[in-house]
């Protein structure tokens, strides 16, 4: 494929020294370690788009340092957006258990990375999740995985926070769910207002966390030391 006179040359292992390659550059299979699947046609089209973009911003996409950049960027985007391909039922993987426990369960400091849908720049931070069981609990590792499902896609922080809370509510049917996220947004740090030290906090409160001030306050006190 040719873009403005510069042909797109699909990179191969012999086009640049091995030490310049990412460790996983030679994995041409469809199954990725993170569980996403690489459609070769989609990846090739993404590579073509990145190649053209490099040319449009004034770079030489065929110079040594950039020759494999379209391939790497396509793989990176597959990973950064693989939340679209994740199925909640498979993520939970039967890890919801009957349990007569009715006190608050809190998981703090869940790291996440996402991509702002407005500028397609990263935002990243931590999520804090609480729920009060109503006869069911979930394996603790599943809560960070639910965060991954909704963070690995184009997002706004407010919607992501709400989606995490609503998903936990739907699948566990607890007495209540609380989710607080705090994030730094590169679209505010690198461009626009260029405020490098600002942080954005969003919350979603469902059930008793929304209706009972005491319950909400208990949760907020538990995570207060973690907030920016």
Catalytic residues: 116-119, 157, 185, 187
Residue 37's SS3 state is: strand
Report the sign of the C-alpha dihedral through residues 15, 17, 21, 26, in that order.
positive
Short-list 170, 87, 95, 162, CA closest to 129:
162
DSSP for 193-226, written as a single string: T--TT--EEEEEEEEHHHH-HHHHHHHHHHHGGG
Q: At what angle do helices 142-151 and 157-172 cross, to 10 degrees?
A: 140
Residue 42's SS3 state is: helix
State the Cα–Cα distance between residues 120 and 80, nearest whole angstrom: 11
* Cα angle value 195/198/201 (rounded, 5°): 145
């Amino acid at each position: 494929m040719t873009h403005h006179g510069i042909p797109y040359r699909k990179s191969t292992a012999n086009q640049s020294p091995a030490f310049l390659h990412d460790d996983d550059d030679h994995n041409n299979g469809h199954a990725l370690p993170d569980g996403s699947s690489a459609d070769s046609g989609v990846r090739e089209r993404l590579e073509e788009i990145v190649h053209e973009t490099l040319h449009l911003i004034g770079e030489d996409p065929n110079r040594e340092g950039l020759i494999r950049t379209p391939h790497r960027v396509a793989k990176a985007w597959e990973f950064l957006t693989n939340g679209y391909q994740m199925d909640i039922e498979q993520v939970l993987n039967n890890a919801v258990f009957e349990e007569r426990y009715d006190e608050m369960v809190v998981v703090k400091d869940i790291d996440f990375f996402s991509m702002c849908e407005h500028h397609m720049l990263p935002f990243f931070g931590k999520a804090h999740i609480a729920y009060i069981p109503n006869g069911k609990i979930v394996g603790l590792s599943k809560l960070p995985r639910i965060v991954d499902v909704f963070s690995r896609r184009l997002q706004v922080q407010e919607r992501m926070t709400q989606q995490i809370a609503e998903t936990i509510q739907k699948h566990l049917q607890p007495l209540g769910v609380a989710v607080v996220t705090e994030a730094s947004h590169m679209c505010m740090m690198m461009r626009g207002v260029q405020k490098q030290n600002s942080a954005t906090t969003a919350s979603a409160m469902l059930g008793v966390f929304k209706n009972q001030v005491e319950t909400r306050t208990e949760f907020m006190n538990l995570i207060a030391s973690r907030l920016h």
